[in-house]
Structure 1
Amino acid sequence: MSTAAVLLTFGLACAVPGGWIAFNVRGSAASLERWGDSNAELRMHARGDFSPVQRRMSARLHRLLGTVIALCGCVLILGGLLELA
């Protein structure tokens, strides 16, 4: 398999989900925030701690990380396109 195909494949695999979260399509960042909060609550309950959950990652941080991943995917895509040329 050529290097261009690998770079294009991994680039698309990073850019699409990262962009989905970065642009908060269909509330994806907010749902990731709720999912993290519910998992933290379940872990705390399993330990016997029934205090309120402290939020660790907000939807804004999820969107920021999604932006970084999408930009890295775009760099990989550009590298794959340059490899084709």
Structure 2
Amino acid sequence: MSLAFFLLALGTMSLVAGIALAFNIRDAAGAAARYAAVNTERAMHARGDLGAPKRVMSKHVYRYLGSVMALAGLVFTLGGLLELAF
């Protein structure tokens, strides 16, 4: 029974976070892109490179990854419900 609760908790958290990224609720994807840019800039400064940071992933990539995370969360949630049922 503990596996069912673990799957339900993990699936629900992944589903909610994935939906927030996929639908860009409160600019979550933009914040993730800005966080990655700042983190890249800090890593470059730590190495001594003072140039402009390269943009690795855009906001749209984070939205796509959020949709994948939401689908995985849905699978985990349904797996937890099936584990509870049987």
Q: TM-score, normalised by structure 2?
A: 0.89
Distance (whole Å) between structure 2 residues aligned to residue 75 and residue 54 of structure 1? 35
Q: Partner of 2:34 in structure 1?
A: 34
Normalising by structure 1, we get a TM-score of: 0.90
Structure 2 gap segments, 5+ residues each: none
Structure 1 residue ranges (4+ consecutive) displaced by more than 4 angstroms after TM superposition = none
Residue identity matched to 1:30? G
What is the aligned-residue RMSD (CA, Å)?
A: 1.2
Distance across 2 between alignment mates of 1:7 and 1:40:
33
The alignment partner of 2:54 has SS state of coil
Partner of 1:7: 7
Structure 1: which 5+ runs fail to align?
A: none
Partner of 1:63: 63
Once the two structures are aligned, what percentage of the paired residues are identical?
48
Using the TM superposition, give the Cα deviation of residue 2 of structure 1 relative to its aligned residue in structure 2, in angstroms: 3.0
Q: Report the alpha carbon displacement of residue 77 of structure 1 after superposing the two structures with TM.
A: 0.8
Q: Deviations over 1:13-66 (max 9, x none)?
A: 211111111111100100110111111111111212121111011111111111
